[in-house]
Amino acid sequence: MRGRKKSGLKPYRAKRRFGVTTEPKGEVTRKRGNAFVIQKHAARRLHYDLRLELDGVMKSWAVTRGPSLVPGEKRLAVQVEDHPIAYNKFEGTIPQGEYGGGTVMIWDRGHWQPEDDPHKGLAKGHLAFTLAGEKLSGGWHLVRMHRRAGEKRDNWLLIKQHDEAERSARDTDILEEKPLSAVTGRTMDEITNGPKKEWRSNRSKASQPKVRPSKPKKAPKRAHSAAVKLMRRAESITPAESAPLAGVGHAALPAFVAPSLATLSDKAPDSGKWVHEIKFDGYRIQARLDRGKVKLLTRKGLNWTSKFPTVAAAIAKLPAKSALIDGEVVVEGDDGLSSFSLLQQDLKASRHDRMVLYGFDLMHLDGADLKSLPLVSRKDALAKLFKREPARGVLRLSESLTEAGSTAETPLTDI
């Protein structure tokens, strides 16, 4: 068990030049409250910052794909430095070149209530709480992922509890249904092009919704390790929320594309042209779908379709005529960690029920050659292709980390 960390704003202030950015410098307050805010942040890559008030500061996590109302659908939440409570009212732009440069929207706000002692929950690695916001409500879990040797950054998973506020995977995504600012009603573009200042809420505290605590739920199992691997280099990463397939060329579905392979690197790159992802312990597989016919190819081009029949069946059911997906087949143990030894055992025993494909790139889709697109656009297209898949199904999206390499302070590999 990890000890309780001291709260403070020194790391927050050290990363910012307050003569340049309009972000609040803030103070650690003595008054206790239970506010929460979720800020949509178009930095190097679009993400959502979850902040929970505790001990006079806002405990903060960068949720890479934003919160999901589908129970069991895990969203990666990278813990970042504590923010001042005054940050709850910040909506505007951070100058490019500054830390977190980009547009910030107050997407949701309200109050939160922990189910148990939040300090013990944070130390243990499982924080269960209830939200009462303008968009989000009900019970939630934050579950810390296992940290491997050399890692200094905590990665968590944000998971919705089963309750009346939940939605199914077939329902409209709350992020798409309610994209506007909870304070000003503006879009991200309107905030970007508007006055570059701090926007303040004029709603009274009395108008804020009250929290109705829910009963404690059983903690979900942890997911795979948060060891990080640099999977691809993206030549152009922008926060734009445009259609990812615009302007691509058309070509026949290739028989096989030789995958980029990892090499060791002593220092993690900080450039915005790099994307960081979870390292899996499994077999690199290229899934080729052509009018219902599936081939699962190893990184050397060997046909291993018969070894992973459940994965092949899931690929065949995707809503596409043709696709070429780069990913990794893994088996997760009872602790939620991907295990190469378990995968080998299952292959030897012809056991297929635990096999999962984590996809991290989409190179071809329905006649469109996507390789010229930035990686983030290809992954957005892959996320849409996997949208109807069950949260804990056979096909899963490999999440990206938005933190800079040196900030994560994690041994990385370079492709």
Residues 407 and 333 in one domain: yes
The overall average pLDDT reported for the chain is 82
HSE (side-chain half, CA atoms, 13 Å) at 373: 25
pLDDT value for 267: 73
The residue behind tokens 């879009």 is: 187
Domain boundary among 146, 175, 207: 207
Residue 46 has pLDDT above 60, yes or no: yes
**Annotated catalytic residue within 279, 295, 307, 379:** 279
Taking residue 372's Cβ as centre, other Cβ atoms within 10 Å add up to 11
Q: 147 versus 241: which is more confidently predicted? A: 147
The answer to whether position 212 is within a domain reads: no
CA–CA distance, 192 with 194 (Å, rounded to integer): 6
Residues 73 and 134 in one domain: yes
Those residues with Cβ within 8 angstroms of residue 57's Cβ, 6 or more apart along the chain or in another chain: 7, 8, 9, 28, 29, 82, 83, 84, 85
Query: pTM of the full predicted structure?
Result: 0.53
The answer to whether position 377 is within a domain reads: yes
What percent of the chain is modeled with pLDDT above 70?
79
CA–CA distance, 229 with 262 (Å, rounded to integer): 8
Residue 140 has pLDDT above 80, yes or no: yes
The answer to whether position 5 is within a domain reads: no
Q: Check if 279 is active-site.
A: yes
Residue 360 structural domain: 228-414
Residues 194 and 60 in one domain: yes
| pLDDT tens, residue by residue, 52-80 | 999 999 999 999 999 999 997 899 999 99
Give the range with max mean pLDDT: 87-91, 162-166, 168-172.
87-91
Residues 80 and 143 in one domain: yes
CA–CA distance, 273 with 393 (Å, rounded to integer): 31
Percent helix, strand and coil across the chain, each rounded to 5?
15, 30, 50
Mean pLDDT of 265-287: 81
The answer to whether position 398 is within a domain reads: yes
Residue 11 has pLDDT above 60, yes or no: yes
The answer to whether position 298 is within a domain reads: yes
Residues 245 and 345 in one domain: yes
CA–CA distance, 103 with 91 (Å, rounded to integer): 8
HSE (side-chain half, CA atoms, 13 Å) at 22: 16
pLDDT value for 205: 41
The answer to whether position 219 is within a domain reads: no
Structural domain tally of the chain?
Answer: 2
Q: H/E element holding 41?
A: strand 35-42
Residues 95 and 175 in one domain: yes
Residues 200 and 232 in one domain: no
Residues 289 and 389 in one domain: yes
CATH number, domain of 281, equals 3.30.470.30
The answer to whether position 216 is within a domain reads: no
CA–CA distance, 149 with 262 (Å, rounded to integer): 19
pLDDT value for 404: 66
